[in-house]
């Protein structure tokens, strides 16, 4: 038994229409619905007044959402065009409440269905599944994000006691000429450690960028932050001290480990050159670049064969032996759980650095003295930027997934000048209060008007601290956001 007219109207979210007949094709999985507007429900599209005299019935071809086995659903609608006295006896089209205000050939139920899919997968994949144009899906995705942005707010019960901030490389802009360096674009992300979500972000990696991110938090929320993890980036640290006075700033352990490994790598490079000059094959093999990670690995993670070869290297090269001792001891210092034990071990490490005479480690020791209090905060809290780094990797992965659509717009120079470049905040809470219609026949008042056009700067570069959109809204879902299907 086929679907009745009222059932089709309810499934597609139609209003003020009557179904005349339907034509289906099981081989092509296509359903065509012929409908006509009800005369008593026809009002002027401009003024909202009823239309008294009929001029013509215009045939419109609209795309609807999938219904059961039918992947393509087309609605051929007879739309009334008549004379409106309020508009000066001009011919006006009757209002169709279930058609998208910007995408006039799409029904609202299809836009809602496609929009929720684009929260989970890429625009290209949604276009392939729904048999739609990928460019249209891109435009719809951008329209949804642009209109969601002004009404975004954080949940009231969010735990902000532990926070982190880190920057992620977004794009390297091409050089204007051979004498200038390429412009590298970074994005600063503000992450809630307890919830593992991005709260806000801003273009750049300066103090202004982090200030812009912290604007999403109220003053009581900023005062409630106990620990704030960052790398050894002074602009971030100065902003946190001013904006979050109650927060203890923690230097990320993995950035410290990276710095001490670089110090040892400088020692390895110098000793490798000496071994090459002396034609010492064993030391050349052990100090070669492809074995540099074995030299700085923790002893408990090495195999017996590696330990035996390292013991032989230590006997032959005193500088490598001292460097390995300093690296291993520094890792043990960061493993301490009490500040008093940390200070005693750090004092011993300072003495070992002085006795070793290695310039790279002596320079690194000055950096440790500068950030000692911040490292002690890490010892107390064990807070790192690991969550931020994980989100950054997902952002980079999804950015590459949307590469084709990302390049198609050429940074909105030609086709997307009405959009405000890119927004990565969808990795977090920014879609929790999406104002899309619960019923497809009505449009939320906040979604009627979009933002004004804003031209992109020269060469498609970004303006400082401006919001920006990304090509796939699935960013927020994959990076720890919530699905709108579980909220609306």
| Helix residue spans in 120-218 (DSSP H) | 123-130, 134-148, 207-214
pLDDT of residue 52: 73
Lowest mean pLDDT among 9-23, 199-213, 300-314, 447-461: 447-461
pLDDT of residue 349: 94
Tokens of 457: 């700067």
Indicate whether 126 pLDDT > 80.
yes
Q: Which of 226, 232, 185 is nearest to 209 (CA)?
A: 185
Contact partners, residue 36, CB within 8 Å, separation at least 6: 17, 18, 20, 57, 77, 78
Tokens of 192: 């809630």
Q: Region 219-229: what's the mean pLDDT?
A: 93
Q: Give the angle 78-83-89 at the CA atoms, nearest 5°.
A: 160
Contact partners, residue 25, CB within 8 Å, separation at least 6: 31
pLDDT of residue 3: 61
pLDDT of residue 462: 35
pLDDT of residue 344: 93
The answer to whether 429 and 154 have CB atoms below 8 angstroms apart is yes
Q: Region 385-406: what's the mean pLDDT?
A: 73
pLDDT of residue 279: 84
| Number of other residues whose CB lies within 10 A of the CB of residue 259 | 16
pLDDT of residue 164: 93
Indicate whether 482 pLDDT > 70.
no
Q: Region 196-219: what's the mean pLDDT?
A: 89
Indicate whether 128 pLDDT > 50.
yes
pLDDT of residue 426: 38
413 or 134, greater pLDDT: 134
pLDDT of residue 304: 74
Indicate whether 241 pLDDT > 60.
yes
pLDDT of residue 325: 87
Per-residue pLDDT tens for 406-442? 433 333 232 222 222 333 333 344 333 222 322 223 3
Phi/psi region, residue 410 (left: phi>0; alpha: psi -120 to 50; beta: rest), is left
Lowest mean pLDDT among 11-15, 51-55, 162-166, 449-453: 449-453
Eight-class DSSP state of 247: P
Quote the pTM value.
0.65
Q: Region 69-95: what's the mean pLDDT?
A: 83
Of the segments 4-13, 127-136, 404-413, which one has the largest average pLDDT value? 127-136
pLDDT of residue 12: 84
d(CA 33, CA 13): 14
Q: Region 390-403: what's the mean pLDDT?
A: 75
Confidence of residue 402 (pLDDT cuts 50, 70, 90): low
What spatial distance separates the first Cα and last Cα of the chain, rounded to whole Å?
A: 32
In DSSP terms, 91 is beta-bridged to: 83
d(CA 423, CA 419): 10
Per-residue pLDDT tens for 152-177? 777 878 889 999 999 888 777 777 77
Q: Region 268-289: what's the mean pLDDT?
A: 83
Burial of 232 (0-12, 13-18, 19+ CB in 10 A): middle
Q: Region 73-83: what's the mean pLDDT?
A: 87
Per-residue pLDDT tens for 293-350? 777 777 667 777 777 777 777 777 888 888 888 988 999 999 998 999 999 999 999 9
pLDDT of residue 403: 54
d(CA 146, CA 421): 10
Q: Which H/E stretch holds residue 347?
A: helix 339-356
The answer to whether 423 and 395 have CB atoms below 8 angstroms apart is no
Q: Region 452-481: what's the mean pLDDT?
A: 36
SS3 assignment, position 388: helix
């Amino acid at each position: 038994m086929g679907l009745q007219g009222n059932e089709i109207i309810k499934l597609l979210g139609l209003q003020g229409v009557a179904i005349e007949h339907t034509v289906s094709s099981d081989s092509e999985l296509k359903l065509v619905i012929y409908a006509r507007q009800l005369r008593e429900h026809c009002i002027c599209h401009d003024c909202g007044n009823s239309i008294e005299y009929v001029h013509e019935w215009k045939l419109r071809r609209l795309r609807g959402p999938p219904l059961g086995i039918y992947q393509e659903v087309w609605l051929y609608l007879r739309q009334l065009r008549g004379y409106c006295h309020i508009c000066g006896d001009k011919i006006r089209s009757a209002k169709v409440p279930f058609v998208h205000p910007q995408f006039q050939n799409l029904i609202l139920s299809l836009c809602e269905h496609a929009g929720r899919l684009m929260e989970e997968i890429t625009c290209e994949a949604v276009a392939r599944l729904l048999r739609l144009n990928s460019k249209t899906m891109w435009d719809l995705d951008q329209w949804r994000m642009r209109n969601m942005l002004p009404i975004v707010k954080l949940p009231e019960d969010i735990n902000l006691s532990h926070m982190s901030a880190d920057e992620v490389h977004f794009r390297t802009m091409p050089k204007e000429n051979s004498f200038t360096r390429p412009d590298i674009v970074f994005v600063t992300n503000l992450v809630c450690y307890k919830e593992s979500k991005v709260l806000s972000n801003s273009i750049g990696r300066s103090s202004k960028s982090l200030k812009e991110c912290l604007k999403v938090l109220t003053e009581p929320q900023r005062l409630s932050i106990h620990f704030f993890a960052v790398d050894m980036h002074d602009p971030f640290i100065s902003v946190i001290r001013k904006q979050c006075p109650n927060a203890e700033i923690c230097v990320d352990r993995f950035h410290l480990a990276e710095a001490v490994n670089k110090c040892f790598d400088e020692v390895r490079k110098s000793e490798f050159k000496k071994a090459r000059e002396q034609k010492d094959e064993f030391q050349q093999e052990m100090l070669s670049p492809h074995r540099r990670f074995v030299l700085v690995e923790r002893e408990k993670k090495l195999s017996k064969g590696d330990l035996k070869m390292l013991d032989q290297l230590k006997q032959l090269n005193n500088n490598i032996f001292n460097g390995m001792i300093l690296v291993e001891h520094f890792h043990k210092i960061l493993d301490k759980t009490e500040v008093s034990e940390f200070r005693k071990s750090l004092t011993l490490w300072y003495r070992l650095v002085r006795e070793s005479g290695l310039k790279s480690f002596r320079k690194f020791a000055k950096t440790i003295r500068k950030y000692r209090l911040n490292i002690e905060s890490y010892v107390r809290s064990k807070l790192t930027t690991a969550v931020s780094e994980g989100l950054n990797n997902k952002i980079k992965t999804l950015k590459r997934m949307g590469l084709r659509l990302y390049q198609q717009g050429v940074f909105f120079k030609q086709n997307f000048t009405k959009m405000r470049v890119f927004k990565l905040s969808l990795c977090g809470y920014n879609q929790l209060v999406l104002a899309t219609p619960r019923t497809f026949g009505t449009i939320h008042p906040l979604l009627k008007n979009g933002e004004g056009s804003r031209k992109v700067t020269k060469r498609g570069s970004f303006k400082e601290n401006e919001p920006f959109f990304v090509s796939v809204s699935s960013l927020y879902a994959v990076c720890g956001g919530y699905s709108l299907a579980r909220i609306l």
